[in-house]
Structure 1
């Protein structure tokens, strides 16, 4: 049974990343990949061309296929997220920092440009968030929906497309961040405050509230990154020196 392209690409990426990370970033060959997935080499070749265009891999003549995640762009992050490939703590921090830069400006523009339709959608998201919290569930999906609606309210379609790609790349970490119900409760309260500022067309307050709101997320991932570094340093110090 052949695998459709929409299903195959994430599976191929996940397998390549796992194999390459244990082999000096060198991925299995085209033939090995075709045999592993029981598909034609032509299908593998076409998929590899897509991954190379996204700068996830590089095919080197007479050498093989190599993983090049450091060169990958935002569109590749969305595919990697779909494939279940985890970002490291440093990449997550950088992504949240980028989100902060974008969304503080989005809050300013939305305060001036939001339509009643935008406000109605935001109210609906807030109402669903409240019900979700009452059921003891987190806001891992509704959080992105709320923030993207604010970006949509800027009435800048390109801005919205860029941020939508960013959120597609970050959905994996949302359950981690909202793993504690208290964080969802706090975020919902801050969302309500941001909505109120937007509805009053108070761009300065909306920006300030968004800055504080996203600052909490940055603090969380900063602590996680520092903890990861500390563990790595302890592990390195505990390993015996090789002569």
Structure 2
């Protein structure tokens, strides 16, 4: 896929979601999409084939193209995030729960396998995090760096690729979660504790600390899911797409 095609997909998805959300989940036709974006129908057709393979849309004979976001997988969620399409509370909760399962195991393996380079990178992230907090800035980007470096320290490239997908899919919601100063400070303190466990090669403690750390985020989104979308999530005014 070329860079131009990569740039086109998020714009295409955003437009399809916007139209489908007020049109019974029915997306514009190939001709309408080609006219809207001033591109060839061939380019639209190729892009739609990608979206169909990702289970974001389906073609129905003699009916048209329909949005099918309930079937979206992790890679689809990452594309939706790039397109600026807000996930619903249930999707957010399930992604956070799955991330927790993976990263608890990552903490165990990282304690056993982390190299000095991994530990040095974690120290650097913690130093930059401390400065960010002192400057009154959120940690949402550095949080992802910290957690993905732990996954990288498992020395399992496939594991890293899977977990990278979680962070790509969470691009929209992380600034929301880290919008409050107390969450930034608490997260940084817990990151320091996790690092110390990794440094001491204490896999049991690293697992326990990661479980507690990610449990806080899971509890936050569980509360949102149980109580309905609240204002402080930033989701209240987001367009809802029911599929």
Assess same fold via TM > 0.5.
yes
* Aligned: 1:96 with 2:96: yes
**Structure 2 CA distance for partners of 1:229 and 1:138, relative to 1, 3 Å:** closer
Q: Residue 205 and residue 144 in structure 1: after superposition, are their counterparts in 2 closer, same or farther (change >3 A)?
A: same
Runs of 4+ in structure 1 off by over 4 angstroms are none
Q: Which has the higher contact order (CA 8 A, sep 6+)?
A: 2
After TM superposition, give the deviation of residue 26 of structure 1 in Å.
0.8
Name the SS for the 1:136 alignment partner: coil
Structure 2: how far apart are the matches of 1:4 and 1:30?
Answer: 19
Name the CA distance, whole Å, in 2 between partners of 1:39 and 1:112: 52
CA distance, structure 1, for counterparts of residue 134 and residue 76 of structure 2: 36
- What does residue 198 of structure 1 align with? 198
Deviation at 1:193, TM superposition (A): 0.2
Match of 1:174 in 2: 174
Larger Rg: 1
Q: How does 1:203-218 map to 2 (within 5 A)?
A: 203-218=203-218
Which runs of structure 2 are paired with 1:1-243 in the superposition (5 Å)? 4-228=4-228
- Structure 2 CA distance, aligned partners of 1:52 and 1:90? 22
For the 8 Å contact 2:89–2:229, the answer to whether it is kept is no
**Separation in 2 of the partners of 1:16 and 1:227?**
29
Q: Give 1:239's aligned residue.
A: none
**Superposed displacement of residue 119, structure 1:** 0.1
Q: Hey, what's the Cα distance between the residues in 1 that align with 2:82 and 2:230?
A: 29
Against the structure 1 CA distance between its residues 61 and 40, is the aligned structure 2 distance closer, same or farther, given a 3 Å change threshold?
same
Q: Secondary structure in 2 aligned to 1:55?
A: coil
CA-to-partner distance for each residue in 1:117-163, whole Å, 9 max, x for gaps?
10000000000101111110000100011000000001111000100
SS of equivalent residue, structure 2 residue 228: helix
Q: What are structure 1's unaligned runs of at least 5 residues? A: 232-243
The offset of 1:21, in angstroms, is 1.6
How many residues are treated as equivalent by the alignment? 229
Task: Report the Cα distance in structure 1 between the residues aligned to 2:56 and 2:25, rounded to whole angstroms.
Answer: 11
What secondary structure is seen at the aligned counterpart in 2 of 1:107? helix
Alignment partner, residue 237 of structure 2? none
Aligned mates of 1:34, 1:230 — CA distance in 2? 38
Q: Distance in 1 between matches of 2:164 and 2:66?
A: 29
